[in-house]
Amino acid sequence: MSAPTRTAQSTCPKSSFQVGDCRRRFLKTIGAALPAAALACPGAQVAAAAQPAAQALPQIKLGKYSISRLICGANPFNAGSHLSVFVNHQMREYYTPEQILKTLRRCQEVGINCWQSSGGNIELYKRFVDEGGQMHYISLATNNAQEIERLARAGCIAVAHHGEVTDSMFKSGRFEQIGDFLHRVHDAGLLAGISTHMPAVVEAAESKGWDFDFYMTCVYERHRSAEELKKLLGHVPIPLGEVYLQEDPPRMYKAMQQTRRPCLAFKILAAGRLSERKQWVEEAFRQTFAGIKRGDGVIVGIYDRYTDQAYECAQLTLRYGS
């Protein structure tokens, strides 16, 4: 990220009325380091028309459904970069409802048949289907009966307990309450899951005897407190922000291997931090598919403003996840 910053500074005009243009150029410069495989295939956007459309991506079973092993995430759609407010702004500017639908159609073309998001995007999913789209929808939610029923009516196939809430409940001793959520989701006729950023949550859930269908597992435990980081590292990074440790993915892979339930790994590119170099992106896909079970999948946010990331990620999934 340092090189793009220097470039932006060296080309910025001094005139105050040109500051907005300078910022736009800065945002475009850093776009290449955003989530998903931005550098996996340089120039892919230009060549997208010449690339094959339909792909036979490997599939996994989620209940009665066959799901592509690569699933489209939603953080870029929702302007949640986990990088900076500037990147959030760029994503929000780019991803109008029409652009989200266009990106979803491209995902479908390359063989991705599932979109993971939240209840906030369910109406857009219905529009996608009404316009001829054919993808499954997996949502995050909490124990809200009306929300779960609304997701069921809209065609959602599965709902996972929101990971941020899961981890907070686990740390505060309220983990048992998630069992009620799982019952409610099943009562609505949907597959029930638990999302988390913590291997310890997977281990705890496995010991409960609960009836549920899958996990969503972040491979980085990114929300440790300052006290936890100091205990683990001996110091607190400055600025604190979100900390992504190289040692985290193997810990989560181990937890995923120890459950028979399918797991959907997410943030495999450390929320875009590994997207700056082609070899980092490829290695993240390779390590993830090598570390998870054959019946597990990956969720990757697609930000296709500069390259054809849906195609790039599909190619890496074919290479390492088949």
Residue 304 has which token pair?
């296709």
Does residue 121 form part of some domain?
yes
Give me the pLDDT at residue 258, please. 96
Does residue 10 form part of some domain?
no
Average confidence score pLDDT of the chain:
84
Cis peptide before 239 (omega within 30 of 0): yes
Helices (H) and strands (E) in the chain, counts: 14, 10
Does residue 216 form part of some domain?
yes
Does residue 16 form part of some domain?
no
Reported as a pLDDT band with limits 50, 70 and 90, residue 301 is very high
Q: Which residues of 164-186 are buried (b: 16+ CB within 10 A; e: fewer)?
A: ebbbebbeeeebeebbebbebbe
**In angstroms, rounded to a whole number, what is the distance separating the alpha carbons of residues 210 and 270?**
30
Distances, alpha carbon 3 to alpha carbons 264, 273, 276, in Å: 34, 14, 11
| 219, 269 Cβ separation under 8 angstroms | no
- CATH number at 93 reads 3.20.20.70
Does residue 54 form part of some domain?
yes
Does residue 22 form part of some domain?
no
Does residue 225 form part of some domain?
yes
Question: What tens digit of pLDDT does each residue of 70-103 get?
Answer: 999 999 998 777 778 888 899 899 999 999 999 9
Q: Which of 25-29, 268-272, 286-290 has the lowest mean pLDDT?
A: 25-29
- Chain Cα centroid distance, residue 240: 22
**Strand, helix or coil for residue 194:** strand
Give me the pLDDT at residue 227, please. 79
Q: How many folded domains does the chain comprise?
A: 1
Instruction: Write out the residue range of the structural domain in which residue 160 sits.
Output: 34-320
pTM confidence score:
0.82
Q: Which residues of 147-163 are buried (b: 16+ CB within 10 A; e: fewer)?
A: bbebbbeeebbbbbbbb
Does residue 136 form part of some domain?
yes
**In angstroms, rounded to a whole number, what is the distance separating the alpha carbons of residues 204 and 178?**
12
**Strand, helix or coil for residue 188:** coil
**In angstroms, rounded to a whole number, what is the distance separating the alpha carbons of residues 277 and 256?**
27
**In angstroms, rounded to a whole number, what is the distance separating the alpha carbons of residues 90 and 24?**
9
- Chain Cα centroid distance, residue 5: 26
DSSP string, 24-70: HHHHHHHGGGSTTTTTSSTTHHHHGGGS-------EEEETTEEEESE
Question: What tens digit of pLDDT does each residue of 195-204 get?
Answer: 999 999 999 9
**In angstroms, rounded to a whole number, what is the distance separating the alpha carbons of residues 15 and 10?**
14
Give me the pLDDT at residue 26, please. 39
